[in-house]
Structure 1
Amino acid sequence: MSGEAESREASRQRRRRERAAAVERFVGVPLADVVRENALVHLPPAAAARLRVVHPSWASHMSSPLFAVAHAAAPRRVSGVFVPSAGFLPFDGDDDAVPSPSLSFVPASSELVVLSSSRGVACCFSPADDAYAVCNPATASWTAVPSPPWRSWPRPAIVVLFDTSAYNFRGDFTLVCPFESEPGSSGAYCFQVFTSGTGAWWVTDAMSPAEGLVAASGVAAGATAWWRTSIGTAVGYTPVTGRVDLVTCPGDSDQWEIGSAAGMLHCAVIDGGDVVVFRLHEHGIWEVTTRVAVAEILQPSQPPPPARATTSTEIVASQQHDESGAEEEEGSRAVVAAANAPLRLDDGVRLLGFQGAEVEVVVLAGRRLVAFDARTRRRREVAVPDEVDAAWDGAEHAAHINTLALIAPAALAAEPPADP
């Protein structure tokens, strides 16, 4: 046997020994330990909290900062949407609920507005107090942050960036807020940055030529904060590198929204009767990831029962009905059909921002909020409650993912640091 053949055989034997050793390590391990170490991290926070009572070792495991860091880093789908007046609307009911949908654990004299959210960490704002806080709605932990020195909108355009790496044991975060370079002029935007470690805002040297930046459109994609504009472009800023990006929306549509999936910027566009989702690659190149019909997204939540054959007895009985009874029955069928009919584009369908490990398109249609997974074709939805203004069109919202992410206390600095 040649030397090369002997080397390949030795390599195969080593791999077999390694596999056998891996199997032996799991043989005899209690199932409860396997679940504790491998499954709990993928559960929503509310479901994981209920399992703390299973065993003291489970409670201890889930109380560890290591578990919180791993939970925030695990791939997840969007849990719900923060909307005005109603607070947090979860797509999966109690499993994705938060202790306080209105974030009442954050002291404020007015209703809080959630400006943005990333990996379970949300930045909220009290208009009456002009006060800001960063919180985790799932754990009711929070820290106050100072107001940014410059602001161009009634609603601040802040985007929160959260690092889910294994080294972020403190729960450090970064806030990015753009502002007009000249008040009243929307020809260029500058950027100001806040980090929990420094405890202060600073204005960067970066500038982006853009017009009509939409304050409520901000989303975190990896280490970059993005906003769309009213003229079909998207602006991005990366605090770590100081890089500014400007890309053009793919397609020709007035109905488009940006989102984040797997840490990359995505753009959803309504094209005729379809929603087309694009992914941004390097050098500003967009790639189509999925196309789905709006009719499929908005299928009836409760389809009508299947039709069955009518017997001769039922035919005779139906012929004996008087005209008034027939009219009532026809009216009842019309009501049921109208309730189960999917909405059309001209019924006021609007795209909302989205985030998660996979592409999940979020659509507002009437009083329905629908999240549609482009890969599994699974649909989740929640009804917009009556306390939300009927004129709300989805423009003011914040998509959110529930995690157990830690929130670092902001060490407020006496003076702003130099631009790093």
Structure 2
Amino acid sequence: MPVQGAGDQTEHLMDRGKKENQFITNKNSKIYMDLKDIIREHVLSFLPAKSLSRFRAVCRDWKLQISTPFFAHNQSNGFHEISGFFCQSGSNPPSFISLDPAAYGVPDPSLKFLPEPVDIRTSSNGLLCCQGLRGLNAYYICNPVTKQWKMLPKPNASHGSDPALVLIFEPSVLNFVADYKLICAFPSVDFDNGYEFEIYSSREGVWKVFGEIYFGNKKLLPRSGVHVNGIIYWQATDGGIVVFDLVMERTQLLYGDYDSYNGYRSGTLGMMNGKLCLTKVHQPGLVVLVLSNAYKNTMQMRSNVKTWEQKHQICLSSSVLSGAASNDPNGRNVLFAGGNIILVRSGGKLYSYDMKTKAVQCLLDELDQGARAVAYVNSLVEI
């Protein structure tokens, strides 16, 4: 005997199944929408500027998101990877060499948006410091992505024809406006064999000469300056390192036990993992030393404490280093060493070595002998 209402129950169950499937589909759609929101709100800001310029075309929401000043602020805090290098020979216009042309780039590598031809002096986290080649040799701070720039006021002191400059820009979530400093070590006109130090602060908008003077009969290499944790290090022509503490406003000469590392008196200074490093070509590859004790000078004689410790021994193929001499007195073969990237000149070729991936990449087949390279981060930072 058929049960009364069975058909109704079956129909009810079928309808229920349809509703449940519909609910699941709607739920998945909601998850998908949430994922798009997550990418837009929390992922995009960790991408380089060139990639973001392409992503503006994805949809209207992404274009509006990427175009806001608040997004530019977040991106400058979230993206810090070395993206490439500005190269320049003599007074020729600069060019840009990207580590990944699909991801990193600038719209005007020759910096024609600036009011005069310039020499790129130094960089920091997306900002470049350039010096004009005409008239007053003014300093400019610029972002080559946004083409924003600012001319700094004239310094109080004469910095000479080839100033030893260091630009410091450390992005902070709390500082919506870029707060940067430019420090110059210059030969003193009042004291023989002395160096004085002048600083420009974007927050104060003025130059200030420090009271500290370094006496040591040293000549600094102008483009060797590195900033690490509030301290600036410049290499001297004879292999020493002049140190200036920005907080204590004190200088010292850093002696190193270079001889115990097979004569590593020369090399290129940089920062890796928050520490000062010294990188040098040493066949069959590269050697990276890390500063382990800056106070060796004050310790007793015959102390076993070392100023430098070998951190990495990198082997490279003979074809890469065929044109790089390990006895280069000024470390000119290593043009840059910082973050995860080492830039090496070998003959007329330019190679990059990635410390993370161990990958070697030939960036340029013909490089002028006197070419200079300045590292760059593809940032949207606003000046």
Deviation for aligned residue 1:141: 1.0
Q: Per the alignment, in what secondary structure is the counterpart of residue 76 of structure 1? A: coil
Cα distance change on mapping 1:266 and 1:75 into 2, 3 Å: farther
Q: Deviations over 1:54-79 (max 9, x none)?
A: 22332232233333233223353322
Give the TM-score taking structure 2 as reference length: 0.77
Which of 340, 349, 352 in structure 2 is aligned with 1:371? 352
Establish whether residue 66 from structure 1 lines up as the match of residue 70 from structure 2: yes
* Cα distance in 1 for residues equivalent to 2:169 and 2:227: 8
2:324 is the alignment partner of 1:345: yes
Structure in which a larger fraction of residues adopt helix? 1
- Say whether the 8 Å CA contact 1:234–1:246 is kept in structure 2: yes
Q: Residues 260-310 of structure 1: CA distance to partner in whole angstroms, max 9, x if unpaired?
A: 2344322102334331112224645433221112427x64xxxxxxxxxxx
Cross-structure match for 2:106: 98
Unaligned segments of structure 2, at least 5 residues: 1-29, 296-306
Query: What does 1:119-158 correspond to in 2, within 5 Å?
Result: 119-129=125-135, 130-158=137-165
1:164 partnered with 2:171: yes
Percent of aligned pairs with the same residue?
Answer: 27
- The residue that corresponds to 1:265 in the other structure is 276
Give the C-alpha shift of residue 93 in structure 1. Answer: 2.1
Cα 1:104–1:242 shift into 2, 3 Å: same
Alignment of structure 1 residues 175-214 onto 2, 5 Å: 175-182=182-189, 185=192, 187-210=193-216, 211-214=218-221
Residue pair 1:192, 1:201 contacting (<8 A) in 2 also: yes
**Using the alignment, how far apart are the partners of 1:238 and 1:61 within structure 2?**
40
Q: For 1:100 and 1:353, how far apart are their aligned partners in 2?
A: 23
- Structure 1 gaps of 5+ residues are 1-25, 300-341, 408-420
| Whole-Å separation in 2 of the counterparts to 1:55 and 1:222 | 41
> Structure 1 residue 142: deviation in Å?
0.8
What is residue 382 of structure 2 aligned with on the other side?
A: 406
Contact 1:279 1:287 in 2 (8 A): yes
**Which whole-Å CA distance do the structure 2 matches of 1:209 and 1:287 have between them?**
28
- Which AA in structure 2 matches 1:46? K
Deviation at 1:255, TM superposition (A): 4.2
Whole-Å separation in 2 of the counterparts to 1:46 and 1:364: 26
Does 2:118 correspond to 1:118? no
Distance 2:308 2:70 in 1: 37
What do residues 386-409 of structure 1 show as CA deviations (whole Å, max 9, x unaligned)?
xx6x442x4x332222211221xx
1:116 touches 1:219 (CA, 8 Å); kept in 2? Answer: no
- Specify the alignment match of 2:255 in structure 1: 248
Task: Report the Cα offset of residue 239 of structure 1.
Answer: 3.1
The one-letter amino acid of 1:172's match is: D
3-state DSSP of counterpart to 2:333: strand
* 1:287 matches 2:315: no
How many residue pairs were aligned? Answer: 329
Name the aligned partner's letter for residue 351 of structure 1.
V
Matches within 5 A, 1:210-359: 210=216, 211-249=218-256, 250=258, 251=261, 252-253=263-264, 255-281=266-292, 283=294, 285-295=307-317, 299=320, 343-346=322-325, 350-356=333-339, 358=340
Root-mean-square deviation (CA), in Å?
Answer: 2.7
CA 29–262 in structure 1, closer or farther in 2 if over 3 Å, else same: farther
C-alpha distance in structure 2 between counterparts of 1:191 and 1:254, whole Å: 25
Question: Counterparts of 2:255 and 2:85 in 1: how far apart (Å)?
Answer: 26
Deviation at 1:152, TM superposition (A): 4.8
Query: What is the CA–CA distance in structure 2 between the aligned matches of 1:151 and 1:79, rounded to whole Å?
Result: 33
In 1, Cα distance between the equivalents of 2:127 and 2:200?
15
Three-state SS of the structure 2 residue aligned to 1:267 is: strand
